[in-house]
Amino acid sequence: MTFRAPIRDLAFALKTVGHPELIARAWPDLDDDTVQAVLEAAGAFADNELAPLNRRGDLEGARYENGVVTAAPGFADAYRHFVEQGWNSLSADPEHGGQGLTKAMELAVFEMVHAANMAFGLCPMLTQAAIEALTLHGTERQKRLVLPKLVSGEWTGAMCLTEPQAGSDLAALTAIARPDGNGGYRLSGQKIFITWGDHDAADNIAHLIIARTPDAPPGIKGISLFLATKFEVKDDGSIGGRNSFRPASIEHKLGIHGSPTCVMLYEDAQAELVGELGQGLAHMFVMMNAARLQVGVQGVAIAERAFQQALSFSQERKQGRATFEDAGGMIYGHPDVRRTLMLMKARIEAARGICLLTGVLADLADRAATDDERAAARARQELLTPIAKAWSTDIGVEVASAGVQLHGGMGFIEETGAAQHYRDARIAPIYEGTNGIQAMDLIGRKLRANGGETLKALCGEMALTAELLTETAELAAVGRRLAAAIAALERAADRALGADNIAALAMATPFLKLAGDVVGGWILGRQALAAAAAGADDPWLKAKGALARLYASQVLTQASGVADGLAESADDLADTPAHALAG
């Protein structure tokens, strides 16, 4: 099946979910025509260059031979074209060679990239995260010599955290960086699961690595952030000899076979400090948070790809007697098939809206007119980031699974391609802090940061949308159900704020899902209102209302039950040892 970039959906989402009047004030040159032109050009690249490589990348994958990693067939050429066309530098600061567009625009473009070829998109995605980290915390030398090369895409970035004994528990890492007596460091250790840690698609690779110095205190306070490049970067910007780190192997994975996931060995490698000693985790979190939002977009992207294939199949496959005659006898005419597809589409649009809104808030946190506006945007961005990452990647897996199911037995056969989307999607809930960690972050830090005031303000804004929906005849039921779901979220938040630590951790994941469901319903309600105002004669616009109604009836109606049962599991969890679950 040929992939088609969802340009109209993305343009509509950018217009409806954010704060267009504030963005227009901060980016006066970013008018509707410019947005459309950027989306169309990026969509053409995704459709024509990246999507055709997706299946071959899955089947043949990246290769490791004799200590050398080679990108999947066609990926290196595609990356060169990606860079030449300027897609790597969209939102970077013009001071470092970037185009200065919004984070939301970057996310919209990368959704199309990830949907066309998720394994490819991981490479520039991590480069974007490295750009953000060095922009905020890099030394003058790093900003002069390394950052512009990352912005241009001539070099790529890699994030190096995990060790065999230290996954999410970064306090357990053992990689060590010893001062070399000349202002630099010599770094030794092993890192695993390093996405695009080595390859042949770019001239150099900049590794951002967390490690300890010899006299560092134990735990996270002893972690610092270091930069090591595959080839030496001389003071005049030229590239010197090979640094003393290398890939030991690439992982054999469930999916994303086109992405080389490396085991990296650092053997007294030349490195330099990024930021301050002992602040490595805080500095790395800049990179991780950027990657978390991008991974949320990956969830949207792979869901979009799976949905498109399922929708196409439903219009080509004939089985049984269809109920709806407009489907020409194909399975799209079966009510449950159509319900499944519409709910897939509704969840995608909700997740897309959450991710793009989080990007808009990042933009406003940087450029809004007043200190208060910037602070409010930052607080809401931080609240929504774990939701954008976790809820959207769960949606990616759920929609990809529904895509396999809709194909029937054909979906379980690799040749149809539906299984690849499911396999590729499954890593995203694990990447950049598992979704359970995102839930703990939401309920333990982001919700409690100011006594719940940020969520309370968001609920108030969502309630205003619910009122507008109830005043629109065809959307009144959506408004009532959204209002009830908002009230349920507020009850759940009150319980979480009053809970002890164990109870809060026990309810973290269902609380995040509830929050995502409700915010997603709000996004769909806003889109339905915008579509109704734009005119009801266009079937595409009419479908926005239908999607909001279906989502409200099948998702928002569950919110009250989830909220009411949220605090009831902690005791049962505490009282159930592992042997009680064994057969």
Residue 50, CA distances (Å) to 1, 10, 37, 312 in order: 14, 18, 19, 20
Alpha-carbon distance of 426 to 422, in angstroms, equals 6
Q: Which amino acid is at 577?
A: P
Q: Which residues, at least 6 apart from 188, have a Cβ–Cβ distance to it below 8 Å?
A: 175, 176, 177, 178, 266, 267, 268, 269
The structure tokens 């260059």 sit at 49
Distances (CA, A) of 532 to 10, 119, 525, 546, 556: 18, 38, 10, 11, 21
Give the chain's domains with CATH numbers: 7-140 (1.10.540.10), 156-278 (2.40.110.20), 451-572 (no CATH)
Return the percentage of the chain with pLDDT > 90, whole number.
90
Pairing of strands 63-65, 204-212: unpaired
Distance CA 337, CA 331 (A): 7
Digit-coded pLDDT (tens) for 273-316? 999 999 998 898 888 888 899 999 999 999 999 999 999 999 99
Strand 223-229 relative to strand 239-242, pairing: unpaired
Q: Judge whether residue 186 has pLDDT over 90.
A: yes
Q: Are 300 and 397 in contact (CB under 8 A)?
A: no
Mean pLDDT of the chain: 95
User: What is the sign, positive or negative, of the torsion defined by CA atoms of 473, 474, 477, 481?
Assistant: negative
Q: What is the pTM of this model?
A: 0.97
The number of helix segments (H) and strand segments (E) in the chain equals 21, 11
Q: Residue 130 pLDDT > 70, yes or no?
A: yes
pLDDT digits (tens, 9 = 90+) for 406-462: 999 999 999 999 999 999 999 999 998 999 999 999 999 999 999 999 999 999 999
CB atoms within 10 A of CB 509: 18
Strands 63-65 and 68-70: antiparallel
Residue 569 pLDDT? 75
Q: Which residues are catalytic?
A: 432
pLDDT of residue 22: 82
Q: What is the mean pLDDT of residues 547-559?
A: 98
What pLDDT was estimated at residue 17? 87
Spatial distance between the Cα atoms of 188 and 160, rounded to a whole number of angstroms: 13
Q: Where are the alpha helices (DSSP H) in 19-153?
A: 20-26, 32-45, 51-60, 75-84, 103-116, 118-137, 140-145, 147-152
Give the span between the Cα atoms of 59 and 315, in whole angstroms.
27
Contact indicator for 210, 283 with CB cutoff of 8 Å: no
State pLDDT tens for residues 190-245. 999 999 999 999 999 999 999 999 999 998 899 999 999 999 999 999 999 999 99
Over residues 40-67, mean pLDDT: 97
* Mean per-residue pLDDT, 49-54: 98
pLDDT of residue 505: 94
Contacts of 528 (CB under 8 A, 6+ apart): 469, 475, 478, 544, 545, 547, 548, 549
Q: What is the pLDDT of residue 26?
A: 87
Q: What is the mean pLDDT of residues 145-168?
A: 95
What's the confidence (pLDDT) of residue 168?
Answer: 83
Q: DSSP readout, 388-443?
A: HHHHHHHHHHHHHHHHHHHHGGGGGSGGGSHHHHHHHHTTTTTTTS-HHHHHHHII
Q: DSSP secondary-structure letter at 235?
A: T
Distance (Å, rounded) from C-alpha 415 to C-alpha 406? 15
Nearest CA to 230 out of 179, 196, 261 is that of 196
Q: Select from 388, 357, 390, 458 the least CA-distant residue to 102.
A: 357
pLDDT reported for residue 1: 58
86-110 tens-digit pLDDT: 999 999 999 999 999 999 999 999 9
Nearest partner of 547 among 12, 121, 2, judged by Cα = 12
